[in-house]
Chain A
Amino acid sequence: MANSLLETDQHRLALSISGSGGTGAVTVGLILLDAVAKAGFYGNMTRAFGPQIRGGESAVMLHFSDQPIETLAEFSELHLALDWVKFDRFEDEIPLTSSSLVIYDNSREKPPGLVKESGATLIGLDLQAIVKTLKGSRLNMVALGVVAQQIGLASHFIEAALQKTLGRKGPEVVTTSMAAVSAGMTLLTDTPLPGLADWHPTQTPRWNISGNEACGLGALRGGLKFAAAYPITPATDIVEYLAKPLAQTGGNLLIAEDELAAMNMVIGASFGGVPSMTSTSGPGLSLMTEAMGLAVAAEIPALVVTVMRGGPSTGIPTKSEQSDLNQALYALHGDAPHLVIAPLNIQESATVSQWSLRLSEALQTLVILVTDQHLGQTRMIMNPVEALDLNLQRSQPSAANEETSYQRYQLTETAISPMSIPGMTALQYTADGLTHSESGLPSSRAEDHAQQLHKRADKLSQFEYGDRWACTIPTAKAKFTIITWGSSFEAVKEAVETLNRQGAAISLIGLRLIMPLRTETLIELTQQQKVLVIEQNDSAQLYHYLLSQKAIPIDSDALAEPGPLLFKPTDLMPRIQTWMEGQL
């Protein structure tokens, strides 16, 4: 089995479900994910949609394990087709092989050629016949029962998950659905799949959370009190998630008329003294850039989360790519130092966003937190993540005194100036995007310009970020180091670990703090190494950035490929091996 090429000692199971609009493929996926979680396991679920806004075909891919798991499956072991309408759209996302088992409703279309060509074992069942015998039942619930039986998932877990998902619709809906599930469970008792049978369930509490939700949660833990945003896929779920908790915790959410407004609203709220953020994706970030420069110049704390999708322009709005790194690094006009931070996986999205919000406050600057569609919209069953205990506060001036007037942009040892908040007596000032002197008054003098530019750069470069700047996994006697970031990290890590088990010696660096870059540390780590930078974009953006900072050796290489398909460990392994051989 391709999934076991990785030689991990954890159990894994990969499922996929597809169906045209209204068949309820996504519902089956959500219930399965929750039920398997309730049974004591881990997993993740990604979605793929057709281009329709609503009612189009959709598919979900589920990857279960008895240990925490972030990687996607290499191929689908069990595919459930509620129908075959436009199934070819998902050919890339749902790889079928000769070891796949495909279950479908044979009262409808025949399986398409590509499914037969895969060599998968095909089992057609007359699900429709069962639906007709059970009043009010739905085909997807019968199918859910078939899958539950196939993977050895006990019906009470399904019932508990149904209760959670459909309970709102009333007890009858749950009862009818459960009847359909039970009927489905008797349809196919022959189970060729090993399923969950010998897995060890855990008793530990776990979260059912998407990366976007985790990102919002981290910001709330960081003290978020204000968000403003304009909807854009795949970032909208962040503010949709935040709406209720913000109201619960005494914060506010503003639905902006556009991203130009959203960014300025954030600046206004933050000027008013409350930790603030917005979330968007590439096209929205483009509209925010002018105001982001204002946040930098006026030294207003602001967190901008950008969830990357395929670009440029409208690109592939529902799928993942790591191609907006250049945008996050360089989109601002003028010399505008700011922070660019990226979580390495979904698991750490909450802590990295909490850290990001606090850094924006402590450093009084713009922080761009870069995630992507995969990190944002994948739903995970994972261990709960503790909140960080961070002491990163916005510095405030002491009470005004008669002799000296308040200098908003005063030079200090840390280059961070105490920031007064409206309402503080006798500490009024005007925040300004114009070049200003220490007092905050506009100035076009060369001396003031250079002084304030340097101040804003220094406060970021001098700051002690601790070891959170990267995840470094050194390997003894390694001659090779691989550097990666964001959603590529998990796949690269799995490939590297597997190669190392097979005798290779490769070190791995996953970068979180991309700007300001910890250049000296990177040089130390890589100067005697052959370096490969792996990322999911066509132009090798991280690679060129690292070279431009002279952070990696000049003979370093890149393995860069555009989205929207994520890297897979088994695809990466031979390519990394070939690269290593080429270095000798």
Chain B
Amino acid sequence: MSLEQIPVKKARPNDYTSNEHPVWCPGCGHFFILRALTKALAWLNISKQDIGLVSGIGCSSRLPAYLDVYGFHGIHGRALALASGLKLARPDLTVIAAGGDGDGYSIGGNHFIHACRRNMDITYIVMDNEVYGMTKGQPSPTTDPEWHSKLAPNGTGLSSFNPMGIALASGASFIARGFSGDPNGLTKILTEAIQHQGFSLVEIKSPCVTFRPEQKDWHKSMRLMNVTPFANPMEAAQAIYGSDGFDTGIYYQADSPVYRSEASSKKNGTASEQMDIIEKALLV
């Protein structure tokens, strides 16, 4: 029997969930992202032990414990750095980073830029509710300028940050916007993103029903999977900047150089033979 003939047991989404019940508020958009992610993983039939799911801190960043994969719930803003170390050391793994808009675009902003620039084969899921949910409702970089909160009673007055624009400018090779209220579209985007070779940003609008109850109406305005992907950054930029934020789908997918582990390519002889060479070089 050749390898191809061995019947592969097709995974189901529930195979990827852990027994832990999410701490999220009932109705939180993050639930639907969890579901879509398990569907995408099942669709791709990736072995659970070959997945590394890394997050930071926030409601969204609780995600890893809810999947039965190798997870890492790290510290606020640093998921992409941790994921980059993991991917470089273990190129065989499917590495996914996840977190919120605060985690990824504010405290982790620098890592976001440099992860895009490296274009390592990592999928980055941002569960964007335009608010710091976990710390109970402060404005984030994607919050609209007029939104009133305790911390900014008259709104921030700051125009919101354009994550997809920044990802494009920084060198990410796959850029998409999804909506947690569109599980099918989101599953499709996540499937494509994980399959894509290179850094994939999946920016997902995900309502915070507790601190941004008005976001429950997002489903009325979101346009589902109406975007067509470009491979040309100029055209993608036009589409990204031309959108009012309610369009969904893949904006950009390009075949750009991927930063990969050099571990296997440069080796000549065994590591211990190499160590001998390294030590000999020190001699007077």
- Which A residues are closer than 8 A to B by beta carbons? 34, 37-38, 205-209, 213, 217, 220-221, 225-226, 228, 245, 247-252, 254, 256-258, 260-262, 264-274, 276, 290-291, 293-294, 298, 381, 384, 422-434, 441-442
Contact = CB atoms under 8 A, between A and B. Distances in A.
A250 B82 contact: no
Chain B interface mostly: mixed
Contacts of B78: 260-261, 264, 291
A290 B75 contact: yes
Residue among B54, B72, B268 having the largest count of chain A Cβ atoms under 10 Å = B72
Contact of B88 (A37, A209, A252, A427): A252
B137 interface: no
Nearest to B73: A432
Given A226-B88, A226-B89, A433-B75, A264 B82 contact: yes
B74 A264 contact: yes
Given A271-B86, A422-B50, A264 B81 contact: yes
B267 to A, nearest CB: 5
Given A247-B262, A250-B263, A381-B284, A442 B65 contact: yes
B1 interface: no
A150 B64 CA distance: 70
Interface stretch (B3-11, B178-186, B273-281): B273-281
Interface string B231-266: 000000000000000000000000000000111101
Contacts of A271: 52, 70, 72, 82, 85-86
Nearest to B86: A268
A268 B96 CA distance: 12
A298 B72 CA distance: 9
Contacts of A225: 89, 263
A217 B279 contact: yes
B84 interface: yes
B235 to A, nearest CB: 29
Residue among B54, B111, B267, B284 having the largest count of chain A Cβ atoms under 10 Å = B284
A267 B278 contact: no
A252 B111 contact: no
Given A256-B81, A257-B110, A434-B73, A425 B49 contact: yes
B70 A422 contact: yes
Contacts of A427: 49
Nearest to B20: A441
Nearest to B50: A423
A294 B74 contact: yes
Nearest to B271: A249
Contacts, number: 188
B110 A265 contact: no
A209 B281 CA distance: 10
B74 A273 contact: no
Contacts of A273: 89-90
A211 to B, nearest CB: 13
B165 interface: no
B282 interface: yes
Contacts of B194: none
A532 to B, nearest CB: 37
B196 interface: no
Contact of A423 (B73, B87, B92, B274): B92
Given A291-B78, A431-B72, A267 B48 contact: no
Contacts of A245: 274, 278
Interface in B9-67: 18, 20, 47-52, 54, 64-65
A430 B52 CA distance: 9
Residue among B75, B81, B84 having the largest count of chain A Cβ atoms under 10 Å = B81
Contacts of B84: 254, 261, 265, 268
Contact of B68 (A422, A428, A433): A428
Interface string B106-132: 000011011000000000000000000
B282 A265 contact: no
Contacts of A249: 267, 271, 274-275, 278
Given A248-B267, A257-B111, A384-B283, A264 B75 contact: yes
B71 A257 contact: no
Contacts of B85: 226, 228, 254, 264-272, 276
A271 B84 CA distance: 12
A267 B49 contact: no
B69 interface: yes
B204 interface: no
Sorted nearest first, the 4 A-B pairs with minimum C-beta distance are A268-B85, A430-B71, A265-B85, A269-B89
B263 A272 contact: no
Contacts of B86: 268-269, 271-272, 422
Nearest to B68: A428
Interface string B148-167: 00000000000000000000
Given A267-B82, A427-B49, A428-B48, A274 B89 contact: yes
B190 interface: no
Given A268-B87, A272-B93, 5 more contacts: A206-B283, A249-B267, A264-B82, A272-B86, A428-B68
Contacts of A442: 65, 73
